[in-house]
Amino acid sequence: MKRIISLFSIALLMIAAVSAQTKAPSESAMDRFLRYVKIDTQSAEDAGKWPSTEKQLVLARLLETELKALGVQNVRISEEGIVYGMVPGNMPDNSKVPTIGFIAHMDTSPAVSGANVNAIIHKNYQGSDIILPNDKTQVIRVDQNPDLKNLIGDDIITADGTTLLGSDDKSGIAEVMTMIDTLRNNPQIKHGNIAIAFTPDEEVGGPMDKFDIQGWGAKFAYTVDGEQLGDISNETWSARTATVTFTGKSTHPGTAKGIMINSSYAAGDFLSRFPEMVPNRPETTEGREGFIHPYSTAMSEETSTIKILLRNFDINGLAAQEEAVKRVIAETQKKYPNVKVDYKSELGYLNMKEVLKDYPQLTDYAIEAAKRAGITAELRPIRGGTDGSRLTARGLPTPNLFTGGHNFHGKLEFNSRKGLERSTETLVHLVQIWAERSK
Ligand SMILES: [Zn+2]
């Protein structure tokens, strides 16, 4: 025990010594973050092209310029709007350390406007509810945000109540950029080659099938796209999207007697059965519980369609969810025998745990890096997908790291100065740990 304690204190002293010697970056993560959130990068569903919105390229070009100024090599923007670059390692032999990639996404959610974001810094936060000044109905409540109690004394960053903040995922971008800056100012910190990528359209199922894994060069990667400090994820949903199509018969309403079959009634009947027949919905589930979610409808007399998200951590759970949807269809079909009902579904992505369980060092090193930055980290499944879920499925193992952010995709989104700084420190420690463990 004594020996453990003394080793532990030596380790602490060493960590303290390293931190004391670390020179600050040329610009703080906070300043970078405040610059990036001013650029509207909202993506759009069903644009039929990548990037889905031209305005994402404004941030892409700024990052291209900034990466070059930080000495990053091979910086380029792909046709789809992906920004790639490589930070060369500073080891005697970089080939002994696997190239580690970091990915953050440039777009913000289509759900809430990201135009004219007016970031507000609530200095030296003292623990009360935070009322957003330009829409006082928007309140970040302590009872709904238990992590706020850990942020007393910190500077909290929010939007003004009229837009989202864009912490998802400009926090990740600011942290990766500040990591590069910190490494550049501290050549004593040894690391291997580091691949960098900033992606468009993550929120709308972006161009990950086009991501140049080979050319990018990373053997393992991390998305920096998570939430509160300490949350590390090697599990995402397995996802299917189902489409139910109701076909009736359209005719001129003036002469429709005995002829028209209005498919919208069947679609409406189908939807109305959900609260009773499908207990697991987004609004009733949390943690590891999956859900079924009708999220988009288009109705007309002739044809009505309803799109439904099926989400489950267990791949076998998806099959049971498909059966549940078919049971609802059967009830509707009984009531509307003249309406033809078709069901189809396609696989979106798979829980990345299926692959990542074979590479435990990815999350072990990340947990150790967080610890060196003073954060107690734990593995928490993501009730969503990430760019990493799709890259992992394509053969590049990519778990997800925290950014310090909260309340993604809404007007109550926030991060904090320490959230940005500690997350950045974690990244700096992480590349060091890969170098230490790979010698
Ligand atoms: Zn995100």
Peptide bond into 201 cis (omega under 30): no
Distances (CA, A) of 409 to 46, 75, 400: 18, 29, 18
- The terminus-to-terminus CA distance of the chain in angstroms comes to 29
| CA–centroid distance, residue 383 to ligand 1 (Å) | 12
| CA–centroid distance, residue 109 to ligand 1 (Å) | 8
Mark 117-149 as b/e (b = at least 16 C-beta within 10 Å).
bbbbebeebeeeebebeeeeebebeeeebebbe
Ranges of residues in the chain with a pLDDT under 70 are: 1-20
| CA–centroid distance, residue 407 to ligand 1 (Å) | 11
Q: What is the Cα–Cα distance from 273 to 254, expressed in whole angstroms?
A: 31
The pLDDT value given to residue 11: 52
The pLDDT value given to residue 219: 98
The pLDDT value given to residue 1: 45
State the residue for tokens 């609260």: 275
Task: Compute the C-alpha angle 62/64/70, nearest 5°.
Answer: 105
The answer to whether the beta carbons of residues 157 and 417 sit under 8 Å apart is yes
Catalytic residue (one of 168, 202, 235, 413): 202
Task: Compute the C-alpha angle 178/181/185, nearest 5°.
Answer: 140
Report residue 198 as tokens: 């900033």
CA proximity to 55, closest of 69, 72, 36, 70: 36
The dihedral over CA atoms of 210, 213, 216, 217, expressed in degrees to the nearest 10, equals -170
| CA–centroid distance, residue 226 to ligand 1 (Å) | 7
Q: Which residues 6+ apart lie within 8 Å of 137 measured at CB?
A: 161
Catalytic residue (one of 64, 107, 154, 175): 107
Entry pTM:
0.85
Distances (CA, A) of 178 to 88, 156, 367, 425: 16, 19, 20, 9
| CA–centroid distance, residue 375 to ligand 1 (Å) | 21
Is residue 107 flagged as an active site residue?
yes
The pLDDT value given to residue 17: 46
Query: Which residues have CB less than 5 Å away from ligand 1 (the ion)?
Result: 168-169, 225
State the residue for tokens 């501290």: 186
The answer to whether the beta carbons of residues 435 and 188 sit under 8 Å apart is no
Pairing of strands 340-349, 238-247: antiparallel
Is residue 358 flagged as an active site residue?
no
The dihedral over CA atoms of 206, 210, 216, 219, expressed in degrees to the nearest 10, equals 80
